[in-house]
Chains A and B, each alone.
Chain A
Amino acid sequence: MTDTLLSIRGLTKAYPGVVANNDVSFDIGVGEVHALLGENGAGKSTLVKMIYGLVKPDTGEMVLRGQPFAPPEPRAARADGIAMVFQHFSLFDALNVAENIALGMETPPPMRDLAARIREVSETYGLPLDPFRTVGDLSAGERQRVEIIRCLLQDPKLLIMDEPTSVLTPQEVEILFQTLNKLRSEGTSILYISHKLEEIRTLCDTATILRLGQKVGTCVPAKTTARDMAEMMVGSTLHTPERAGRDLGEVALDVSGLSVPSPSAFGTALKNVHLVVRQGEVLGIGGVAGNGQDELLNALSGEVRSENGAIKMLGDPIGKLGPKARRGLGLLTAPEERLGHAAAPDMSLTENALLTGSVRENLETRGFLKWGAAQDFAERIINAFDVRTPGPSNVARSLSGGNLQKFVIGREVLQNPKVLVVNQPTWGVDASAAASIRQAILDLAAEGCAVVCISQDLDELMEISDRFAALNEGRLSAPKPTQGLSVDEIGLMMGGAHGMEVAHV
């Protein structure tokens, strides 16, 4: 690490009402893996968007290999050897891998040459990928490989990766890290954005930590504990959720032989799912995104009906009941997609409180709505879960992702569920809010509620669940006690992911 590739000096970017980046400076060396750490809203995305030419800084400058660098648009940044893998893939499901890559090129070579280049790059870097497979059939990990290979074909000097491991199994993470290490050894610099501290400790050479748009520290991750880094990120001591010792009661939710056909061409069918949750127990369900998580939640919430006996609540079959009837019995759910599924974007928080609260909070009499009571309920959620909003008459869309998540989870938690099913409860929520959501879930369990927590955050599942199972292509593995479960075992449970073995490097 002798030379500096990119030097960032005093970058500042303000949006109306918020300073996204304030006087941020750091250097990225040639062949260095540099981590950018921070909570949601710390300004990581804005910073890399400035480097990639998507956003122009208000003040400050960047120097690339000794030359002033101010890309007016991503094309210019790419021409200077900067490539980026976004967190959300921009791929067309119906096209194959080579066609998708050709779409992103300015002058795509003939398809046969391109396919040969894709094969060559994928073998060189140990990323197995068939250029002629349809993207719709690929796993999330494979889709990410498409994006990475798309970048590598440009022969980048700096590769920016935004939360690359959030969609991968542990084994796929392993493959990715080998690729990144190989790139590093060839002199490519990598700017690695993540909030998964253990990953950063194993992979990165240097870490820059951002909080509220400002750089708060630099460290060598391998020599710093994860807890210290987390506290730098959050700016205060972390509160770890506590699990009170609790007794398991009778079986609250009993799912046996649940099969649901896929709702769409690229969805996942649930195949013969079995699970049992007792009162006071938290069952964690892991798995790579898109392996049936949404479908499982829909089947439990009642949005999708199944055979009557496939789902039993406290012994009674409920498979044919709709969402309202299930809520009446005490089965409450919180879907992953906040805007549009868990909440209506253009409706007020009061109306959104009514959305699931009408039955259990007694917000209607013979069909007529009690707006006063609904508003009280919304205010109770806002106060109990520290939702930052001017008031319940604001529309759901106006809340930040984390605040809306607190509202959506709080809405179910406050209704005294007997069984609670949550999907990605802390997705996009900052660390302290995530801790309080987890604590609320554990408190519910301590009071005897049975909880099913579907999540892609393995650390979260290990922290709160008693037993762990994983979804893979719509099948649920047999649950195992969380205590003493090794990462390898978890990986095998999530497993079956395509192209698991590392290709010949």
Chain B
Amino acid sequence: MIVMEKRPQPSRAWSLATPVVAVLATMVFGGLLFGVLGTNPFVAIKTIFWDPIFGEFAFYYRPQLLVKGAPLVLIAIGLSLGFKAGIWNIGAEGQYIMGALVGAGVGLAFYPLDAWYIFPLMVIAGAFGGWIWAMIPAVLKVKFGTNEILVSLMLVYVAEQLLASMSLGLLKNPEGFGFPGSRNLNEYASANSWILQDAGMHWGVVAALIAVIFAYVLLNRHMLGFQIRLTGEAPRAARFAGVNPARLILFCLGTSGMLAGLAGMFEVAGPSGQVSIDFNVGYGFTAIIVAFLGRLHPVGILLAGGLMALTYIGGEIAQGNLGLPAAAIQVFQGMLLFFLLALDLLTSYRIRFAKKEVA
């Protein structure tokens, strides 16, 4: 009989080892899945994990890693602060859209003026757009006790409608021959987030790295970070310590909204280039997985964001080169999260194989 025993102390070794073990287990079981589908599992795994970084066409894929990883990390860092305190912002996708809309809106308002201050203004506007969208569930929760999970999630769909309306109306390119979508910001130098387009380097990558450092210092060295962790661990003890729950809700939701808005703004001013109906591709939701895959730790999230970006790009290559169905790739990504959460148990519990006691 298998018995689970709670460890007196959470195991540090296991908490570091579980992500690695989870990735390995995903490779084994994903390989089996690909094998059943008639693809050589070793080739499939190599295509997903190896080719994007070291393969023949890596020069093309490596910049893609930065482009895909940066928004994931930026959003996930913000989400992780709230998740640690038990405040669940599920609507980062909506805040991402709003950041892009407000940021691009400010940039387009100056078109065709060339000035150094346009891009910084867009950054502030993008952060503001995400922040204000996240403040809606935050204020409703503080004032009326509404559920932030539902409100933030619903606001994603509102934001999507706004996005469609903007790309068909207010922000539509006047010289776009009637096609939906705004002017392309890549052709507007003052409103462009690229630093080095060939390397995939844009200001969003820089912002993501700064966010990782900021979150690390906050959580480990600052009272506010301590209060965030305390609230997640023991809400009553947090109140006893003097944490103001309302302020914490406003801070956590506000910060995560701000970072998601920034991610959207950097995306629209760089890799995507324009506001269009299909601008959002699910970074805001994938970032939830990234946050947990990185066990809500800033450095973990940085690594997890890279890994997630890798499986996306590798998955696309595998679809194109090996003819694997898109569903198989999604199952593969799902497995990763599944194994991680399942193995998480080992951090707090010890598994013992006990003989059944004879009555």
Query: Which residues from chain A sit less than 8 Å from chain B, CB to CB?
Result: 56, 72-73, 301-303, 322-325, 327, 333, 335, 337, 339-347, 351, 354-356, 358, 364, 367-369, 371, 394-395, 397-398
Query: B residues bordering A, Cβ < 8 Å?
Result: 8-10, 221-224, 226, 229-230, 233-234, 236-242, 244, 357, 359
Once the chains are docked, how many angstroms separate the CA of A323 from the CA of B223? 15
Q: Which residues of A contact B234 (CB under 8 A)?
A: 339-341, 343-347
A369 to chain B, nearest CB (A): 6
14 contacts between A and B (CB under 8 A): A303-B240, A322-B244, A323-B240, A323-B241, A335-B240, A342-B240, A345-B233, A345-B234, A346-B10, A355-B237, A356-B241, A368-B223, A369-B223, A371-B221
B242: A residues at CB distance < 8 A: 302, 322-325, 327
In the complex, are the beta carbons of B230 and A347 less than 8 A apart? yes
Question: Which B residues touch A301, using CB under 8 A?
Answer: 240
B236 and A354 form a contact (CB under 8 A): no
- Chain A nearest CB from B237 CB (Å) reads 5
Residue of A nearest to B239 (CB): A303
Question: How many angstroms from the CA of A343 to the CA of B238 in the assembled complex?
Answer: 9
On chain B, the residues within 8 Å of A327 by CB distance are 242
Q: How far is the CA of A395 from the CA of B233 in the complex (A)?
A: 12
Q: Are A398 and B9 in contact (CB under 8 A)?
A: yes
For residue B185, give the distance in angstroms from its CB to the closest CB of chain A: 38
Contact (Cβ within 8 A) A368 B236: no
Q: Find out whether the CB atom of A341 lies under 8 angstroms from the CB atom of B240.
A: yes
- Number of interchain pairs (Cβ within 8 Å): 75
Q: Are B240 and A358 in contact (CB under 8 A)?
A: no
Instruction: Report B184 CB to chain A, min CB distance, Å.
Output: 43
Those 5 A-B pairs whose CB atoms lie nearest each other, nearest first? A324-B242, A323-B242, A72-B359, A344-B234, A398-B8
Contact assessment for A355 and B241 in the assembled complex, using a CB-CB cutoff below 8 Å:
yes
Q: Among B8, B222, B229, B236, which residue has the most Cβ atoms of chain A within 10 A?
A: B236
The residues of A that contact B240 with a CB separation of less than 8 Å are 301, 303, 323, 333, 335, 341-342, 355-356
Q: A324-B242, A351-B226 are in contact. Are A368 and B221 (CB under 8 A)?
A: yes
Contacting residues, chain B, for A56 (C-beta < 8 A): 357
Candidates B222, B237, B239, B244; contact of A367 at CB < 8 Å: B222
Write out the residue numbers on chain B whose beta carbons fall within 8 Å of the beta carbon of A323.
Answer: 239-242
- Once the chains are docked, how many angstroms separate the CA of A340 from the CA of B229? 13
Most chain A beta-carbon neighbours within 10 Å: one of B224, B236, B238, B242: B242
Min CB distance B11 to A, Å, is 12
CB distance from A404 to the nearest CB of B (A): 12
Given contacts A358-B223, A368-B221, A395-B10, contact A346 B244 (CB under 8 A): no
Other than the given A346-B233, A369-B223, 12 more pairs (CB < 8 A) read: A72-B359, A323-B240, A323-B241, A323-B242, A340-B236, A341-B234, A341-B236, A344-B234, A344-B238, A351-B226, A369-B221, A369-B226
| A340 vs B235: C-alpha distance when bound (angstroms) | 8
The CA-CA distance from A368 to B233 in the complex, in Å, is 20
Nearest opposing residue in chain B for A351, CB measure: B226
B218 CB to closest chain A CB, in angstroms?
10
Expressed in whole angstroms, the Cα–Cα distance for A57 and B238 within the complex equals 42
Cα–Cα, bound, A340→B239 (Å):
10
The answer to whether A355 touches B221, judged by C-beta atoms less than 8 angstroms apart, is no
Is the beta-carbon distance between B233 and A347 smaller than 8 angstroms?
Answer: yes
- Nearest CB of chain B from residue A77's CB, rounded to whole Å: 13
Report yes or no: A367 in contact with B223, Cβ–Cβ below 8 A: yes
Chain B residues closer than 8 Å to A339, beta-carbon distance: 234
A303 to B236, CA, bound (A): 9
Please, which residues of chain B bring their CB within 8 A of the CB of A364? 223
User: Bound complex: CA of A72 vs CA of B221, how far in Å?
Assistant: 53
Contacts of A335 in B (CB 8 A): 240
Q: How far is the CB of B174 from chain A (nearest CB, A)?
A: 49
**Known A56-B357, A343-B237, A355-B241: A397·B8 in contact at CB below 8 Å:** yes
* Shortest Cβ distance from B225 into A: residue: A369
B9, B229, B230, B237 pick with most chain A CB within 10 angstroms: B237
In the complex, which of the residues B10, B224, B236, B240 has the most CB atoms of chain A within 10 Å of its own CB atom? B240
* B222 cross-chain contacts in A, Cβ below 8 A: 367-369
User: Which of A337, A355, A395 has the most B CB atoms < 10 Å from its CB?
Assistant: A355
